[in-house]
Amino acid sequence: MFPLQRGRRLRVNESIRSLVRETTLSPSDFMFPMFIMEGENAKVEIPSMPGIFRRTLDLTVEEVKELYALGIRAVNIYVKVNDNLKDNTGKEAWNENGLMQNAIRAIKKACPEMIVMPDVALDPYSIYGHDGIIENGDIANDATNNALVKMAVSHAQAGADFVAPSDMMDGRVLRLRQGLDEAGFHNVGIMSYSAKYASAFYGPFRDALDSAPREADIVVPKDKKTYQMDYANRIEAVKEALWDVEEGADMVMVKPGIAYLDIVREVKNAVNVPVTVFHVSGEYAMIKAASERGWLDHDKIMMEQLMCIKRAGASLISTYFAKEAAIILNK
């Protein structure tokens, strides 16, 4: 009856614990989401995301160099588009001299080895704040896909390593793969937001880009629930991920992160490509707010959550904590 197995033998001290640790983190596990705005030598902190800034292109490039020096090897970039450039077609999204295209070129010139994954969705360019073109009061799936192909090809022409469609239109991965290949960009990959849920955790992100759905002079969907996933669903996430792999996705993403670790594991078990997890703005903001009040230990909670995401099956973690976590890991 006396226990022959004692789990505590493997927990006696940190040296033993490190020998048998099943999951480890390194800076190369992280991708840093970056917000870019027009102008020069300026950065604006996002009130709901302490420590995260919209930066002009010159300061973005300097930040990228710092990230690379810390061991971070990928950035996911988003642009704050001026209101006068927004419409219902999203045509600014494939302007070869647009902010996104200029940002890709500048980052790749300054830091060629940094992997650049620009966001592919129309919401930053839409006067209605939606990820697609509005027709007859709804998102026009196929017309939106046509626009996304133009957008992705323009990113590839600027030097993007991967395109990252976050729009959740049906069939867009296949259309993007076909469009990239036809344009000669066979080696530009697709990291698809496959299981992107209609989540309230995105609030601070939408503050950063001014990309929330807004009232309009025509009938528009009041939210993004007709294309982003219902957070009550699990099997649907696996189905969406498998479809995207069949259509040519090189990586798939689950978004949000911590609240969806069951989905991460389900998707990881189902697909044969790397799984990215987005540790989103609301999850970041909650840790920042609680730690500012002294309710949580910031660094310990940050590292625990990132480790849990990796343990659940993430090959890559897109997180606003990437820089802070990399500094700790490098110590």
d(CA 58, CA 265): 39
Give how far Cα 46 sits from Cα of 39, 52, 168, 207, 226, Å. 17, 6, 26, 8, 28
Residues 6+ apart with CB under 8 A from 272: 245
Among 289, 290, 327, 295, CA closest to 306: 327
Question: What is the residue whose two structure tokens read 């990928």?
Answer: 74
Residue in 86, 196, 268, 288 annotated catalytic: 196
Our answer to whether residue 196 is catalytic in this structure is yes
Question: What is the residue whose two structure tokens read 């690379």?
Answer: 68
Question: What is the residue whose two structure tokens read 């990228």?
Answer: 64
Instruction: Return the axis-axis angle of helices 235-247 and 261-270, rounded to nearest 10°.
Output: 40
Question: What is the residue whose two structure tokens read 């209605």?
Answer: 128
The alpha carbons of the chain give a radius of gyration, in whole angstroms, of 20
Q: What tokens appear for 183 in the block?
A: 């344009």
Question: What is the residue whose two structure tokens read 């480890």?
Answer: 24
Task: Please name the amino acid found at residue 58.
Answer: D
DSSP class of 214: -
Task: Please name the amino acid found at residue 169.
Answer: M
Residue in 86, 108, 224, 255 annotated catalytic: 255
Q: Is 304 annotated as a binding residue?
A: no
Sign of the torsion formed by the C-alpha atoms of 146, 149, 153 and 154: positive
d(CA 260, CA 264): 6
Burial call 224-256: b when 16+ CB within 10 Å, e when fewer: beebbbebeeeeebbebbbbbbebbbbbbbbbb
Give binding residues as ranges: 240
Give binding residues for Mg(2+) as ranges: 240
Catalytic residues: 196, 255
